Structure 1
Amino acid sequence: MPAAAAARGPLLLLRRQPAPGLAVIRRSFSSPYSGMRCASAAAGGRERRSSPAYDGLLLDAGGTLLQLARPVAKTYASLGRRYGVSKREENIMEGFKRAFSASWPKTLRYQGDGRPFWRIVVAEATDCTDNDYFEEVYQYYAHGDAWRLPAGAYKMLRDLKNAGVKLAVVSNFDTRLRKLLKDLHVSDMFDAIVVSSEVGHEKPAPEIFKIALDQIGVEASKAVHVGDDETADKAGANAIGLECWLWGEDVKTFSEIQDRILTRLPQ
């Protein structure tokens, strides 16, 4: 074979034989958008949007979001020993409840720091009017260590916030509340913190609920309030068309609250 032909031999063979896997390559390009359609459909399934059942959650503080780290009567008794408090814990608790159920002559029970009201409660519960004792009790409850969050509360707040639900505290409380929420690392979770001693209205007054709803920008019909008092929380909220779940009755865990709020509704 001439040298020129020998040199062209491999090229001729390549021309005569189809490229390996060419049919497979052709098939893969026969429908250039088929794979994209499949990927798009899968992505579309993942990205389908749905909305929570409620746009806003209002939460009571004391007795709902904030729970005592230990029983109030035990704290009053232990702190009162060096001040001469000798009442039994059950009797302290009776006096405590008696003070709370008594009518309050002023518009607000919690004015400013709440000391006038709490001074009466401590004296009624313990029969001790020593000012140093009262201040020790008062300061004890001004720190987060005296309180705790119920199981699942922090997770619920975090997950609802991530889901776009607006969150607010609506509480009959004194000026210590903001610090307590900060101590317990939840104050930044809330879009609004509405405290009766600051806004001049106490539950069940409709104004305090309206203030909270205005601050989070949610209508009453699209929000729910959770609290532990039949009159202050449920009757007050219902009066302005705001649904209310009673803590310990309608809902018993914060995971249950989360599940009910995040129940998906088709858009």
Structure 2
Amino acid sequence: MFASHGYPRAVLFDFFGTLTQAAPRGAGHAEVARLLGCSPEELTAVLDTSFYRRSRGDYGDALTTLRWVAAELGRRPDDTTLRAAYQARIAALRADIRLRRDAYAVLARLRADGVRMAVVSDCTHELTEILPTLPIAPLLDAAIFSVHIGAVKPDPTIYLAACAALRVEPRHCLYVGDGGSRELTGASALGMYAIRLAAPDLGDHLVFRPDEEFCGPSARSLTEIFTRDLVPA
């Protein structure tokens, strides 16, 4: 699969739907809505329509962004309520995150083989606090969050930030993702070798801007990708 392109020096992983199982919003998000004084449906509508703007950090830091969300809902929570709602958002998102069963083993093998690795995620502030607490965090060399970079996929800026952090050129990188945000097409355009993770559970995954133009290879699991000709036996 990748052998004709040379052994990868680095692997960039998408996070949601790639290192994690499908991640629909769970019951914990209802507590955020309750604290903000709206229905879960109203909150979801604002979150969905503002996802990319929030993921670029357009509205400022975490609390300022959540205050903007509340204002869009016609609410003006006090600072104590706003902080409680933000902590509830972190708890809700953390509850939604279920790492794939093979994620740790795959990353550990790549690290043992000397391959540099980064997560590259379109995300809001909450993931920047959650990811460092996950078991896979010590295996990663870098985490590139759109909310810190100010750019979302497929903008070259976010991929090049990962390459800079790993000290590697794009042509020596493998990119693995489920295809949200047209991430695979964006990676390929920079000369990366991209593989779509097409795991069976992703039919229930929340995806914005699916990568319908990508015609490259796919795999049904992380293990399937890295037990072919990517990783030496």
Q: Which interval holds the TM-score relative to the shorter structure?
A: 0.5 to 0.7
In structure 2, relative to structure 1, the CA distance for the partners of 1:84 and 1:118 (3 Å cut) is closer
Q: Do the aligned residues in 2 keep the contact of 1:77 with 1:85 (CA within 8 Å)?
A: no
2:156 is equivalent to residue 203 of structure 1: no
Q: Is the 8 A contact 2:163 2:170 kept in 1?
A: yes
Once the two structures are TM-superposed, the CA of residue 213 in structure 1 deviates from its matched residue by 1.4
- What is the aligned counterpart of 2:193 among 243, 252, 257? 243
In the TM superposition, what is the alpha-carbon distance from 1:137 to its structure 2 partner?
3.9
Post-superposition offset of 1:261: 6.3
1:258 aligns with 2:226: yes
Taking a change above 3 Å as real, the CA distance of residues 60 and 209 of structure 1, as seen in their structure-2 partners, is same
1:72 aligns to what SS in structure 2?
A: coil
Check conservation: 1:96, 1:122, Cα contact below 8 A. no
Larger radius of gyration: 1
Quick one: structure 1 residues 107 and 226, their matched pair in 2 at CA, closer, same or farther if it must change by over 3 Å?
closer
Scaled by the length of structure 2, the TM-score of the pair is: 0.68
CA distance in 1, matches of 2:160, 2:230: 23
> Which amino acid is the alignment partner of residue 139 of structure 1?
Q
Is residue 168 of structure 2 the alignment partner of residue 223 of structure 1? no
Matching residue of 1:97: 48
Residue 75 (structure 2) aligns with = 129
Deviations 1:70-95 (A, max 9, x none): x42632224544765445x6x76555
SS of structure 2 residue aligned to 1:169: strand
Could you tell me which of 28, 47, 56 is aligned with 1:75? 28
8 Å contact kept, 1:113–1:176? no
Please give the per-residue CA displacement for 1:31-59, whole angstroms capped at 9, x wherever unaligned.
xxxxxxxxxxxxxxxxxxxxx84221101
> Unmatched 5+ residue regions in structure 2?
1-5, 200-217
1:191 aligns with 2:159: no
Tell me if the contact between 1:72 and 1:93 (Cα under 8 Å) persists in the aligned partners. no
For 1:214, give the aligned amino acid. A
How far apart, CA to CA, are the structure 1 residues paired with 2:155 and 2:180?
13
Which residue is 2:3 aligned to?
none
How far apart in 2 are the matches of 1:264 and 1:245? 18
SS in 1 for 2:8: coil
Aligned residues: 206
For 2:55 and 2:49, how far apart are their aligned partners in 1? 19
Q: Aligned in 2, Cα 1:138/1:172: closer, same or farther, shift over 3 Å?
A: same
Q: 1:60 aligns with which of 10, 14, 25?
A: 14
Root-mean-square deviation over aligned CA pairs: 3.6
Deviation at 1:189, TM superposition (A): 0.9
- Name the CA distance, whole Å, in 2 between partners of 1:123 and 1:247: 37
Which runs of 5 or more residues in structure 1 are unaligned?
1-51
CA positional deviation for 1:224 = 1.2
3-state SS, counterpart of residue 244 of structure 1:
strand
Given that 2:59 and 2:68 are in contact with CA atoms closer than 8 Å, whether structure 1 keeps it comes out as: no
Matched to 1:56, the amino acid is A
Number of the residue aligned with 2:115: 165
Would the aligned equivalents of 1:168 and 1:216 in 2 still touch at CA under 8 Å?
yes
**Aligned-pair CA distance for 1:246:** 2.8
**Cα separation, 1, equivalents of 2:170 and 2:132:** 27
**Whole-Å Cα distance in 2 between the matches of residues 183 and 165 of structure 1?**
22
Please say if residues 175 and 187 of structure 2, whose CA atoms lie closer than 8 Å, have aligned partners that are also in contact.
yes
In the TM superposition, what is the alpha-carbon distance from 1:161 to its structure 2 partner? 0.6
Could you state the TM-score of these two structures normalised by the residue count of structure 1? 0.61
Give the letter aligned to residue 108 of structure 1.
R
Tell me the CA shift for residue 199 of structure 1: 3.1
Q: 1:262 to 1:95 in 2, by over 3 A?
A: same
User: Which residue number corresponds to residue 32 of structure 1?
Assistant: none
Equivalent position SS for 1:179: helix
The 2-side partners of 1:238 and 1:259 are apart by 22
